[in-house]
């Protein structure tokens, strides 16, 4: 799980909730990277999360759609 954040209050809430649930995540706070990924996915606000799947997880995800 990748969390894209600007350090805003909502970002802090999301990071705390993930930590409280022991969810492993990578935090990206580089403004240029956040903007690039947000534009790529059509996202208009932060924070947002992107889940990264390996091959077998991708197949499982697709099969469960």
pLDDT at residue 3 greater than cutoff 90: yes
Domain boundaries of the chain, sorted by first residue:
2-63
34-55 pLDDT per residue, tens = 999 999 989 999 999 988 778 8
Q: What is the mean pLDDT of the chain?
A: 91
Predicted TM-score (pTM) above 0.85: no
Q: Which residues lie across from 28 on neighbouring strands?
A: 4
Sign of CA dihedral 44, 50, 55, 60: negative
Mean pLDDT of 9-32: 93
């Amino acid at each position: 799980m990748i969390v894209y954040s600007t350090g805003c209050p909502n970002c802090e809430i999301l990071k705390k909730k993930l930590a409280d649930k022991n969810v492993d995540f990578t935090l990206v706070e580089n403004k240029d990277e956040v903007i690039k990924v947000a534009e790529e996915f059509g996202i208009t606000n932060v924070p947002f999360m992107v889940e990264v799947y390996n091959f077998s997880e991708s197949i499982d995800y697709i099969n469960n759609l």
